[in-house]
A = this chain, B = another copy of it.
Amino acid sequence: MKIITSTDNSFIKKLRSLSVKKYREQFGLCLVEGEKVVKEALKIEGLVEGLVIAKSFEEKFSELIQNYSQSVTLVTDEIFNSLASAVTPQGIIAIIKTLNNTKIDLNKNIVVLDHLQDPGNLGTIIRSGIASNHSQFILIDSVDPYNDKTIRSATGTIFYASFFKMNKSEFKEFAKLNSLNLLIADMGGKNIFASKSTLITPYALVIGSEGQGVSEDLLALNHKTIAIPMDPRVESLNAGVSASIIMFNLSNSFKGKI
């Protein structure tokens, strides 16, 4: 176990930099906080690079400290609070490796998020995605999944997801090259509750941004459009909610076939 008491310590400075996307990408690391989510992360081999525990929580987490002694850094409460983003810090942070060395598995379904901007919505989509057997996410110019709001809203499910960042032209190339079976969620599409038998798996489900929907040039790709039928007085659903409804309905209509 290491003990750090100086706020100027270079390791602490590095951890603090992980609140910025650029440094998360540079170091291939991010921070997750809270007992529950840290314990979830520890279940997955090779995921946790280290633990940071606040001095006043040393007794509470004594068992964890004993079991992971090599990876624990004990810090003053002042240092801990400078790293934590939660309103009520729970005294424990895990340093997580975000580097993704896996390749996209084209035999499995993919969820494509096109310019999704709201971190809470992304977290909701990851959580519902993992719950409905969608674990591959292509992020086209979307919010970073490793920011603290997304991690909080995804709860522990973020560790079971694979993320692939692309820009729009990279995705278009990728979709054409692999003849992706694109299902685009958009107004006026086929009723998701009625058209199940006409859809095939694996698919790449495309969800558009909150305000704008799916970009014009993705709509120009070969695809099927699907939609949730709604009362005409309602303009749209929340992006996280509509993605969740579609993912669960697709996954349950292909049960046993995937």
Q: Which residues of A contact B (CB under 8 A)?
A: 124, 127-128, 130-133, 153, 155-157, 160, 193-194, 228-231, 233-235, 237-238, 240-241, 244-245, 248-249, 252-253, 255
Contacts and interface: CB of A to CB of B under 8 A. Distances in A.
Contacts of A153: 238
Contacts of A193: 248-249, 252-253, 255
Contacts of A128: 237-238, 241
B157 A233 contact: yes
Contacts of A244: 237, 241, 244-245
A35 to B, nearest CB: 14
Nearest to A160: B233
Q: How many copies of this kind of chain does the complex include?
A: 2
A86 B169 CA distance: 37
B248 A228 contact: yes
Contacts of A233: 130, 156-157, 160
Nearest to A194: B252
Given A193-B252, A194-B252, A244-B245, 8 more contacts: A127-B238, A131-B228, A133-B231, A155-B235, A193-B253, A193-B255, A228-B248, A245-B245
Contacts of A155: 235
Contacts of A157: 233-234
A230 B131 CA distance: 5
A67 to B, nearest CB: 21
A231 B124 contact: no
A245 B245 CA distance: 5
Report, nearest first, the 5 A-B pairs whose CB atoms are least far apart. Answer: A193-B252, A131-B234, A131-B230, A241-B244, A131-B231
Given A244-B241, A244-B245, A245-B245, A127 B252 contact: no
A96 B142 CA distance: 37
Contacts of A249: 193, 249
Nearest to A253: B193
B237 A131 contact: yes
A195 to B, nearest CB: 12
Nearest to A244: B241
Nearest to A252: B193
Contacts of A131: 228, 230-231, 234, 237
Contacts of A245: 244-245, 248
A6 to B, nearest CB: 37
A206 B132 CA distance: 22
A178 B244 CA distance: 34
